[in-house]
Structure 1
Amino acid sequence: MITLYLAEDQSMLSSALAQLLNLEDDLKVLGTSGDGQTAWLEISRLKPDVAILDIEMPKATGLDVADEILSAGLKTKVIILTTFAQKAYFKRALKAKVSGYLLKDSPSDELVAAIRKVMHGQTIYDSELVRNMVNAADNPLTDQEMAVLKSAANGETTKEIAEKLFLSDGTVRNYLSAIFSKLGVHHRLEAVNIAKQNKWLS
C-alpha cells in the first residue's frame, strides 16, 4: 500500500482528489490540509510515502514544505501540483529534489501513474510544463494571479472570477492590481496580451 498526504488550499479540489486517490486499491490518503504549516507538521508525524503538494498555500508554500522534507531527511517523495509554469518555482522544486512536477489540469490517471512511478525511483516532470519553462520568458506572476488572468482573458467579470476561484470580489481586484503592477500595464487587455506573447497563456 502506498500512503499519501495531500496539501491543497482549495477544499473542494482537495476533497475530490482525495476521494479519487482512495478509490485505487494500492493507494491510501492518510490526511489532507489546506495550508503548508499544517501539512509539514502532519507529514513529519505521519511520514507518508508520497506528499502531493500545491505550490501556493497559506502559511507556507508547497515548495517550503518540500524543502523541510529534504532537510529533515524524510523518505517521503514529493509531487508538486501547479496551475501554471514558472521558472522560479521549477528551479526551487529541482533544488528541493522533488520527484514529480505536474499540472493541476492533468488527468487524474496521470497523477496516479506518477505516484506509482516515483515510488519506483522515477522522476516525473510534465513534458508540456518543462517545454514551456524552456521557451517562455520569466513569468513574475504567481499561480493564483495567473488563474485570475486566465479567467480575465476569457472575458469573465470580477464577480464571475471570484465565484469560479472561490475568492471575494475584493481579493480578485487586489490580484488584478498586483498583475497590472508587475507587468507595468493599466488594463486587463494589455496584461492578457503580454501573457500571450510570452506564452504564459495559450
Structure 2
Amino acid sequence: MIRVLLAEDQALVRGALTALLSLEPGLEVVGAAADGDEALSLARTLRPDVLVTDIEMPRRSGLDLAERLRAELPEVRVIIVTTFARGGYLRRALEVGARGYLLKDAPAAELAQAIRQVHAGGRAIDPALAGEAWADPSPLTERERQVLGAAEGGASTSAIAAGLGLSEGTVRNYLSEAIGKLGAENRVEAARRAREKGWL
C-alpha cells in the first residue's frame, strides 16, 4: 500500500480527494491537513510515502512545505496539485524538491497514477506546463524574490531589512533591481507581475 497524506485548505476539495483516492487500489489516505503547518506535523507523525499538497495554503505554502520535507523527511515524496497553470510555480516546485506537479482539473485516475509513478521514483509533471517553465524563467535572484515577496505584503523597508537580516540600503538595492528586471514602476507593480508569472 502507498500511504498518502493530503494537504488542502478547502474542505470540500480535501474531502473529495480523500474519497476519490481511497477508491484507488493500492492507495491508502492516512491523513488530511487543512494548512501547511498541520501537514508538516502530520508528516512527522505519520511518515507517509507521498504528500499531495496545494500551493496556496494558510500558515505555510505547499512550496515551503516541500522544501521543509526535503530537509527533514527526504523519503516523503511531494506532489503539488494546484489551479495555478504557471510555469514559474512549476520551476519553484521542482527547485524545492517536489516530484510531481498537476493541475486540479486533471482526472482522479491521473492523480492516482502520478502518486504511483512518484512513489516508484519517477516524476509526474503536466507536460504543457513543463515547456512553459523553461521557456520563461524568472529573472529574479533568490534574494530579490525574498525581498519582493516581503514587500508584497506591505512591509516597510526597515521591517524587511530586520526580517531578513539585511541593511535598509541593501533592501532598497534588491527592490530596485527587481523593479528594473520586471519593467515595473514600483514595488507593488513588480510584486504583482512576479506573482502573475508564478515567480513569487
Task: State the TM-score bracket (shorter-chain normalisation).
Answer: 0.5 to 0.7
Q: Aligned AA for 1:43? A: A
Contact 2:91-2:133 within 8 A present in 1 as well:
no
Matched, 1:46 2:46: yes
Conserved? CA contact 1:7–1:53, under 8 Å: yes
Distance in 1 (alpha carbons) for counterparts of 2:42 and 2:125:
25
Give the aligned length.
150
Aligned AA for 1:182?
A: R
TM-score (norm 2): 0.67
Aligned to 2:21, the other structure's residue is in SS state helix
User: Aligned-pair distance for 1:23?
Assistant: 0.7
**1:182 alignment partner in structure 2:** 192
Please provide the CA RMSD for this pair. 2.8
Is 1:94 aligned with 2:104?
no
Superposed displacement of residue 74, structure 1: 3.2
Contact 1:85–1:133 under 8 Å retained in 2: no
Task: Quickly say closer, same or farther: Cα 1:4–1:135, change in 2 above 3 A.
Answer: same
C-alpha distance after superposition, 1:103-131 (max 9, x if no partner): 11111111011111111111111101213
Give 1:135 deviation, angstroms: 4.7
- Partners of 1:89 and 1:137 in 2: CA distance: 10
Alpha-carbon separation, structure 1, partners of 2:21 and 2:81: 15
Deviation at 1:134, TM superposition (A): 4.0
Gap regions ≥5 residues in structure 2:
139-187
1:137 Cα deviation (Å)? 8.2
Is residue 12 from structure 1 mapped to residue 12 from structure 2 by the alignment? yes
Q: How far, CA to CA, are the matches of 1:80 and 1:124 in structure 2?
A: 10
Q: Where does 1:29-178 land on structure 2 (aligned, <5 Å)?
A: 29-135=29-135
Distance change (3 Å), C-alpha of 1:116 and 1:59:
same
C-alpha contact (below 8 Å) 2:54/2:82 kept by paired residues: yes
CA contact (8 A) 1:53 1:80 kept: yes
Q: Deviations over 1:33-72 (max 9, x none)?
A: 1110111011111110000010000000011110111011
Q: What amino acid is the match of 1:22?
A: S
- Matched letter for residue 192 of structure 2: K
Pairwise CA distance, 1:83: 0.9
Q: After TM superposition, which residue ranges in structure 1, 4 or more long, deviate above 6 angstroms?
A: none
Does the aligned pair in 2 maintain the 1:9–1:35 contact within 8 Å? yes
Q: Does the 8 Å CA contact 2:66/2:96 hold for their aligned counterparts?
A: yes
Aligned to 1:186: none
Aligned equivalents of 1:137 and 1:77: distance in 2? 24
Q: Which has the larger radius of gyration?
A: 2
Q: Aligned residue for 2:27?
A: 27
Whole-angstrom distance in 2 between the partners of 1:115 and 1:66: 15
Equivalent residue number for residue 155 of structure 1: none
SS in 2 for 1:118: helix
Aligned to 1:166: none
Identity of aligned residues (%): 40
SS at match of 2:5: strand
